[in-house]
């Protein structure tokens, strides 16, 4: 089953926002289906489990929908859930993740950020841990901690290795700067600096030798994408 064929569901009572999300996903070639009620959410999640992905607003009416997530988890349901919320406080975020949410996105967000995170959740649900990542000519061995491009061995610093690992795990997918900060550097605050770009720049210089096509593309206003099919720089 490819990621694209996995169903994505949306539980959102703000119809304007729901409409935008549906349209945004459609533009990206994805289908996200709005669910009308909590009962429907439980039914869909119950029927499809981890093969589906659920995007859910934190507040539906005056009800904290984390209770739904907690109820799902209590029945052993592992459907990946992304919670979107206007409650931005760190504690709210921690609460959201503790209740069983897999990711937490604060309003307002860029549509690309939401799509990238949903894609990452679908990928994460694929599950099986691999010791060797292969993307085009790039091979990363998690056990030996080596990276080769074709026949060329590439020496990376530990952080660069983690960064490349993350990009290769999400190959073909856009990963945002915020995702990289959170997942690679464990850094949960936003920063005005272009520090992520500097890291990616350094990594690029190491994996793309003179004359080789660039493997890591910049996605404007959003982040980066590592592709199996190399393409020329922007």
List interacting residues with another protein (CB under 8 A): 88-91, 94, 106, 108, 110, 159, 181, 185-195, 198-199, 201-202, 220-221
Query: In the complex with another protein, which residue's Cβ is closer, 37 or 89?
Result: 89
Tell the smallest beta-carbon distance from residue 218 to another protein (Å): 13
Tell the smallest beta-carbon distance from residue 107 to another protein (Å): 10
Tell the smallest beta-carbon distance from residue 190 to another protein (Å): 5
Tell me which DSSP letter residue 50 carries.
G
User: Burial letters for 31-40: b for 16+ Cβ neighbours within 10 Å, e otherwise?
Assistant: ebebbeebee
How distant is the alpha carbon of residue 178 from its chain centre? 10
Q: Mention every residue, 6+ apart, whose C-beta is less than 8 A from residue 105.
A: 82, 83, 84, 85, 113, 114, 117
CA angle 29, 34, 37 (to 5 degrees): 165
Tell the smallest beta-carbon distance from residue 174 to another protein (Å): 16
For residues 213 and 232, the answer to whether their CB atoms sit within 8 Å is yes
How distant is the alpha carbon of residue 59 from its chain centre? 22
Kind and range of the H or E element at 72? helix 66-74
Tell the smallest beta-carbon distance from residue 233 to another protein (Å): 18
Query: In the complex with another protein, which residue's Cβ is closer, 4 or 94?
Result: 94
Cα–Cα distance for residue pair 210/109, rounded to 1 Å:
37
Query: In the complex with another protein, which residue's Cβ is closer, 37 or 194?
Result: 194
Query: In the complex with another protein, which residue's Cβ is closer, 2 or 193?
Result: 193
Tell the smallest beta-carbon distance from residue 181 to another protein (Å): 8
How distant is the alpha carbon of residue 210 from its chain centre? 31
Query: In the complex with another protein, which residue's Cβ is closer, 1 or 16?
Result: 16
Pairing assessment for the beta strands 223-231 and 174-176 based on DSSP bridges: antiparallel
């Amino acid at each position: 089953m490819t990621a694209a064929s996995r169903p994505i569901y949306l539980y959102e009572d703000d119809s304007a926002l729901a409409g935008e999300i549906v349209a945004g996903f459609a533009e990206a070639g994805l289908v996200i289906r709005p669910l009308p009620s909590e009962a429907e959410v439980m039914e869909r999640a119950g029927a499809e489990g981890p093969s589906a992905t659920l995007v859910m607003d934190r507040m539906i009416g005056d009800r904290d929908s984390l209770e739904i997530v907690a109820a799902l988890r209590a029945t052993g349901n592992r459907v990946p859930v992304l919670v979107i919320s206007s409650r931005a406080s760190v504690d709210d975020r921690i609460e959201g993740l503790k209740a069983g949410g897999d990711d937490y996105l604060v309003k307002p967000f860029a549509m690309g950020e939401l799509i990238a995170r949903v894609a990452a959740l679908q990928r994460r649900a694929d599950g099986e841990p691999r010791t060797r990542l292969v993307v085009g000519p790039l091979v990363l061995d998690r056990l030996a901690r080596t990276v080769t491009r074709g026949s060329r061995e590439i020496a990376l610093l530990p952080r660069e290795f983690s960064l490349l690992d993350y990009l290769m795990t999400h190959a073909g997918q856009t990963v945002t700067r915020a995702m990289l900060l959170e997942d690679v550097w464990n850094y949960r605050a936003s920063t005005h600096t272009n520090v992520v770009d500097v890291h990616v720049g350094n990594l690029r210089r190491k994996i793309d030798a003179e004359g080789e096509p660039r493997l890591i593309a910049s996605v404007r206003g959003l982040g980066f994408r590592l592709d199996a099919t190399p393409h020329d720089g922007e």
